[in-house]
Amino acid sequence: MKTTLILMGFLLLGLTSVSIAQDTLKLDLRQAEQLFLKENYELIAQRYETEQAKADVITAKLFDNPELNYENLFYNHETKKFLETSMATGQYAASISQLIKLAGKRNKNIKLANTGVKMSSDAYFDLMRTLRYDLRSNFYKTYYGQQSAAVYQEQIKALEQLLNASTQQYNMGNIALKDVIRIKSLLYNLKAEYSTLMNDIEDLQTQLRLMTRIKADTPLQLVLKAEDQHNELSQHPYLALLDSARANRADLQLSKTSVLYAERNLSLQKAMAIPDVELSLSYDLKGNYPEKYTGLGITVPLPLFNRNQGEIKKARVAIEAAQNNLSQQESLLENEVYNSYRSALRTEQLYQSLDQQFNGDFQRLITEVTKNFNSRNISLIEFLDFYDSYKENTLQMNNLRYERMNAKEEINYVTGSVIFK
């Protein structure tokens, strides 16, 4: 009976493991980007702002509503009657007026609103550029973090087996206590490092879930396909990358659009200094001469004091500020492209200088070292030193691979283009 319960327990444990594995979401970079473009909260919010800016264009195209005014005699003290409208004893007046904007104010407002839509659109693509870099950089960092975590898992499992065997040997009096303690110390250090790494990976996965709107409790297993490895940096000279940045950087386009917006606003403010005309048509029964009075009126404000001087000056200053910001953005762009390009070159040169077979050779070496240790051909200190070297080498290689991929993502970011897919 006891044996049966144990077997059932292992069976349930196996089923649970399968269930967890089935719930794990395998996610490659392309799938992550598709979810990001469709589901990201910040991009959706920015799209709403663009739609609001388009609504401003609709408002700018609308004409002013005409105004209707009506006045009726309320109480006739002679006839003691209310609201009389008869020709004999009543009186009422009505008028309709329409404001006519001069100096092309309506068209200038439409152009200004359209420029606002362009600014909102540029802001959207700049936000996408920034978030896309965050997503891809996060993806690579998480992926290589998971590869490093697998190394820790492998070493922890092996050291646990070694510790159990060494403890048995110590109990039999075959090895010294200091050797058991040394193995325990390394095992505890590995577990502590692994726990820290897993906390970092979980933080990164949380950001990925937020950016792609994946459920918080969904385990992620990232997959890096061969086509995600990027092409060679040498195929893209610096000047070509700089030209691409000038043509495609959304923040640079936003700065240029801001200058245009300020210029169009100045044109509008100058037009606002010119008075608008209000035309009116009125009818008055017995309130004027003749008794049935029909009149045509015009109202024009006299620009003696307020000629919109303050707003015009503000618009001129805004142009200067926007032009200064554009110059700063152009300088920043050049420096960012150059710095990212040089950094990517250094990282690529370092990566290419390494023996790509080194990891495989080191894996075979550690296997041989383990066999020699089991055969007592090498000491425990030498064995643990090899183990530590293997771990450090693998972690450094994973970190270099991440830096290599991230350096090319930075070039995508600073050029505003998908140079490396």
Give the separation between CA 230 and CA 221, rounded to whole angstroms.
21
**Token pair of 69 as six digits:** 């005014």
Tell me, what's the pLDDT at 369? Answer: 75
- Report residues of the chain scoring pLDDT below 50: 1-22
Q: Which of 347, 403, 398 is nearest to 137 (CA)?
A: 403
Give the separation between CA 393 and CA 150, rounded to whole angstroms.
14
Model pLDDT for residues 370-386, shown as the tens digit of each residue:
777 777 787 888 878 88
pTM: 0.84
What secondary structure does DSSP assign to 299-314, as a single string? E----SS-SSHHHHHH
**Token pair of 222 as six digits:** 């990232």
**Token pair of 218 as six digits:** 């969904």
What secondary structure does DSSP assign to 55-98, as a single string? HHHHHHHPPPPPEEEEEE--EETTTTEES---TTT--EEEEEEE
**End-to-end alpha carbon distance in the chain:** 60
Burial class (CB in 10 A: 0-12, 13-18, 19+), 279: middle
**DSSP secondary structure code for residue 276 in this structure:** P
Give the separation between CA 262 and CA 315, rounded to whole angstroms.
6
Burial class (CB in 10 A: 0-12, 13-18, 19+), 337: buried
Tell me, what's the pLDDT at 355? Answer: 67
On whether the CB atoms of residues 409 and 136 are closer than 8 A, the answer is: yes
Tell me, what's the pLDDT at 3? Answer: 34
